[in-house]
C-alpha cells in the first residue's frame, strides 16, 4: 500500500518535513516557508488560554550586576560598565505539562530572563540544559505533541487501562526513535539533572548560539551559562514522586519562601565566545542546538551575577502574563543562524499575540522600564494606554514622530546559495551520538546506574519492539557500554 502524502492545510504536498527553508545552506530561515509558518502558528493556538509549553511557571524579580569587562566583545549598554546593575525578571517553568502539573517531575526547565535595560527589554529565553531534542523548528510541534497527554488509543490496540489523558511512553519513544539527534538531550533528561531539587539548585543556559558585536563592528558568536551559586542538587525518581505527592507546588514554594526570608538565590553568568570567522570551519555545526561547545575549545568567561530578591505581588498579572520573546534584542546583541532560534523568533511573539493579545507588551511585567515604547502600533485587544491621541500613526511623517536610527543592532550576516529546504552544512564531527557518549562517560558510576534505570523504566513500557530496538541502537552508537546496559535493563524489566 502506498504511503499517504503529507500536505499543508491547503492540501499542497509537503516536500520536506525535516528541514526548514533557508537562505542558502546554513543561512537564516525564510518567511516564505509556508509549511514552517503554518505549523508554528497552528501549534501556538492549540491551547486556550494557558501556554502550550512552559505552562507551569514561577517567577521573581532581581538584578543583574556586571562583574567583568566584556566590552571587547559587545557594545551593549547594560554590559558596558563593571558594577552596573540592571533590573531583571526571571521565570522558571516545566516544559511539557499543564498548569495543573507538579513541579517535581522529569522534564527540562525553562529559564527565561528579561533584562529591563536603558535601551529596551532584552529577553534571554533558555532552559536548564545546554542542548535540546531537535535542531530544526519544523520538528518542534511534532516533538511537543509526542510529549503531551495522549488521545484515546486506536481501536485495534488492546489495553488493560486505556491511556487516554496521560503522557504515553509509546509516543515519546517513537518520536525519539525517529530523531537520533535527540540522544544527547535524552541522556541529560534521564540523568540526575532531569529532576532538579529546586529552581534555586539548577543551572540555566541560553542554549542557543547568539551573536555579539563590539564597537568596532567585529562579530562573535556566544553561548550563555548561568551557574547556580547554591550548588546543583537533584532528586531521584523516588524522592521526586514522594515530594510531588506532598506538595505539587514544591519548587514554587521553595523559591517564594527563600526570597521572603531573605535568602536570595543567585547565579554567575559566564559566556563562551567564538570569533564569527571560526564557525564555518569548526569541527561541528556551531549553530546546532543538540550540541555543546567543548570548554577546552572555548572556555567560560565570567560576565556578572544575577540575584533574585523580590517576589511578584500578583502571580497572574506578573508570572502568567509575563511574555518573553527571543527577538527582543538590544544594540550589540543579535541572532545567529541557529535554526531553532530562528524559528523561535517568530513562534514566541506569535504565541503572545494569540494568548495575551497584540498589546501584550503593555502589562507592567513586560513594559520597558527606561522609556515608553515609541512606535506606530495602535488599537487592538486591550489597548489600555493613550497611544497618541493627536500623534500621527504612520512613518515617515512631517510631525516629529519617532524615526529609524539607521544603525543595526548587530553585525550583518553574509549568506550565499539557493533558497530551499536545506540540511545543515556538514562538518567533520556532525554526528548525533558523540556528545551523548562523552556525557555518559563523564558521569560517575552511580549516576550511570541511575541513568540506565531511568531510561529502562520508561522504555520498557513501549509496546513496539522495533521502537525499542531503534532507541537501543542510538544508545549503543553513543557508547557500546551505554547501549548494552540499557538493553539488559529493558530486557530484565520486560521479562518480569
Range of 1-5, 277-281, 328-332, 439-443 with top mean pLDDT: 439-443
Three-state secondary-structure class, residue 36: helix
Q: Which three cell numbers stand for residue 356?
A: 495575551
Write down the H helix ranges in 178-277: 183-190, 237-246, 250-260
Give the pLDDT score at 1.
41
Q: Which residue has the higher pLDDT, 358 or 489?
A: 489
pLDDT digits (tens, 9 = 90+) for 58-75: 999 999 999 999 999 999
Within a 10 A sphere around the Cβ of 118, how many other Cβ atoms?
A: 13
CATH class of 1-128+196-370+417-426: mainly beta
Confidence of residue 359 (pLDDT cuts 50, 70, 90): confident
The CA distance from 142 to 193, in Å, is: 24
User: Is residue 57 scored above 70 in pLDDT?
Assistant: yes
Confidence of residue 383 (pLDDT cuts 50, 70, 90): confident
Choose the weakest-confidence range: 162-166, 213-217, 444-448: 162-166
pLDDT digits (tens, 9 = 90+) for 310-353: 999 999 889 999 999 998 999 999 999 999 999 999 999 999 98
For the chain, helix, strand, coil in percent to 5 are: 30, 20, 50
Give the pLDDT score at 20.
92
Choose the weakest-confidence range: 12-16, 218-222, 447-451, 460-464: 12-16
Give the pLDDT score at 13.
77
Percentage with pLDDT > 70 across the chain: 94
Give the pLDDT score at 287.
96
Instruction: Give the CATH fold of the 167-194+433-496 domain.
Output: Hemocyanin, N-terminal domain (1.20.1370)
Average pLDDT over residues 241-270: 96
Give the pLDDT score at 376.
74
Average pLDDT over residues 20-37: 88
The CA distance from 496 to 491, in Å, is: 9
Domain boundaries, the chain: 1-128+196-370+417-426, 167-194+433-496
The CA distance from 258 to 227, in Å, is: 18
Asked if residue 42 lies in contact with residue 48, where contact means CB atoms within 8 angstroms, the answer is no
Give the pLDDT score at 395.
81
Q: Which residue has the higher pLDDT, 325 or 161?
A: 325
**Which is nearest to 413 in space by CA: 277, 293, 290, 285?**
277
Range of 15-24, 141-150, 183-192 with top mean pLDDT: 183-192
User: Is residue 382 scored above 80 in pLDDT?
Assistant: no
Q: In which residue are the cell numbers 531553532 written? A: 340
User: Is residue 49 scored above 80 in pLDDT?
Assistant: no
Percentage with pLDDT > 90 across the chain: 65
Choose the weakest-confidence range: 303-317, 386-400, 444-458: 386-400
Give the pLDDT score at 151.
63
Confidence of residue 96 (pLDDT cuts 50, 70, 90): confident
Asked if residue 306 lies in contact with residue 269, where contact means CB atoms within 8 angstroms, the answer is yes
Average pLDDT over residues 446-469: 96
Choose the weakest-confidence range: 192-201, 294-303, 317-326, 415-424: 415-424
Q: Which residues are catalytic?
A: 54, 127
Average pLDDT over residues 441-447: 97
Give the pLDDT score at 47.
61
Give the pLDDT score at 94.
93
Classify strands 109-117 and 301-310 as parallel, antiparallel or unpaired: unpaired
Choose the weakest-confidence range: 124-128, 181-185, 246-250, 406-410: 406-410
Give the pLDDT score at 377.
74
Classify strands 57-66 and 109-117 as parallel, antiparallel or unpaired: unpaired
Asked if residue 287 lies in contact with residue 337, where contact means CB atoms within 8 angstroms, the answer is yes
Average pLDDT over residues 185-193: 97
**Cis, bond preceding 49 (omega within 30 deg of 0):** yes
Give the pLDDT score at 385.
67
User: Is residue 413 scored above 90 in pLDDT?
Assistant: no
Asked if residue 137 lies in contact with residue 335, where contact means CB atoms within 8 angstroms, the answer is no
Give the pLDDT score at 8.
73
Q: Which residue has the higher pLDDT, 87 or 374?
A: 87
Average pLDDT over residues 110-120: 94
Amino acid at each position: 500500500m502506498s504511503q499517504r502524502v503529507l500536505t499543508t492545510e491547503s492540501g499542497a504536498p509537503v516536500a520536506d518535513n525535516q528541514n526548514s527553508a533557508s537562505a542558502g545552506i546554513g543561512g537564516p530561515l525564510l518567511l516564505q516557508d509556508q509549511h514552517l509558518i503554518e505549523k508554528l502558528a497552528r501549534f501556538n493556538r492549540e491551547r486556550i488560554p494557558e501556554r502550550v509549553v512552559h505552562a507551569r511557571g514561577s517567577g521573581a524579580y532581581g538584578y543583574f550586576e556586571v562583574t567583568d569587562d566584556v566590552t571587547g566583545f559587545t557594545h551593549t549598554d547594560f554590559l558596558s560598565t563593571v558594577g552596573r546593575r540592571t533590573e531583571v525578571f526571571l521565570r522558571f517553568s516545566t516544559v511539557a505539562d499543564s498548569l495543573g502539573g507538579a513541579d517535581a517531575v522529569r522534564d527540562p526547565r525553562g529559564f527565561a530572563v528579561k533584562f529591563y535595560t536603558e535601551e529596551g527589554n532584552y529577553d534571554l529565553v533558555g532552559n536548564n540544559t545546554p542542548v535540546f531534542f531537535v535542531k530544526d523548528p519544523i520538528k518542534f510541534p511534532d516533538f511537543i505533541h509526542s510529549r503531551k497527554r495522549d488521545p484515546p488509543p486506536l481501536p485495534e490496540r488492546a489495553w488493560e487501562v486505556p491511556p487516554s489523558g496521560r503522557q504515553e511512553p509509546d509516543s515519546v519513544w517513537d518520536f525519539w526513535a525517529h530523531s537520533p539527534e535527540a540522544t544527547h538531550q535524552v541522556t541529560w533528561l534521564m540523568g540526575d539533572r532531569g529532576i532538579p531539587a529546586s529552581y534555586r539548585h539548577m543551572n540555566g543556559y541560553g542554549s542557543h548560539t547568539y551573536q555579539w558585536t563590539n564597537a568596532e563592528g567585529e562579530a562573535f558568536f556566544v553561548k550563555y551559562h548561568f551557574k547556580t551559586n547554591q550548588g546543583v542538587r537533584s532528586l531521584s525518581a523516588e524522592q521526586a514522586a514522594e515530594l510531588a505527592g506532598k506538595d505539587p507546588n514544591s519548587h514554587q514554594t521553595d523559591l517564594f519562601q527563600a526570597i521572603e526570608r531573605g535568602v536570595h538565590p543567585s547565579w554567575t553568568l559566564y559566556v563562551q565566545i567564538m570569533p564569527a570567522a571560526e564557525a564555518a570551519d569548526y569541527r561541528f555545526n556551531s549553530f546546532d542546538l543538540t550540541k555543546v561547545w567543548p570548554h577546552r575549545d572555548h572556555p567560560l568567561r565570567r560576565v556578572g551575577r544575577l540575584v533574585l530578591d523580590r517576589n511578584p505581588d500578583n502571580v497572574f498579572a506578573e508570572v502568567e502574563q509575563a511574555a518573553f520573546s527571543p527577538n527582543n534584542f538590544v544594540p550589540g546583541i543579535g541572532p545567529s543562524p541557529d535554526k531553532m532560534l530562528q524559528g523561535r523568533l517568530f513562534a514566541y511573539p506569535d504565541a503572545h499575540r494569540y494568548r495575551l493579545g497584540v498589546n501584550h507588551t503593555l502589562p507592567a511585567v513586560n513594559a520597558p522600564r527606561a522609556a515608553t515604547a515609541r512606535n506606530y502600533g495602535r488599537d487592538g485587544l486591550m489597548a489600555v494606554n493613550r497611544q497618541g491621541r493627536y500623534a500621527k500613526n504612520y512613518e515617515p511623517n512631517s510631525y516629529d514622530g519617532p524615526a529609524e536610527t539607521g544603525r543595526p543592532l548587530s553585525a550583518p550576516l553574509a549568506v550565499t546559495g539557493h533558497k530551499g529546504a536545506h540540511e545543515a552544512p556538514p562538518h567533520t564531527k556532525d554526528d548525533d551520538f558523540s556528545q551523548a557518549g562523552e556525557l555518559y562517560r563523564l558521569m560517575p558510576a552511580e549516576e550511570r546506574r541511575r541513568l540506565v534505570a531511568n531510561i529502562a523504566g520508561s522504555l520498557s513500557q513501549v509496546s513496539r519492539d522495533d521502537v525499542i530496538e531503534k532507541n537501543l541502537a542510538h544508545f549503543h552508537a553513543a557508547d557500546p557500554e551505554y547501549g548494552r546496559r540499557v538493553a539488559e535493563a529493558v530486557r530484565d524489566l520486560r521479562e518480569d
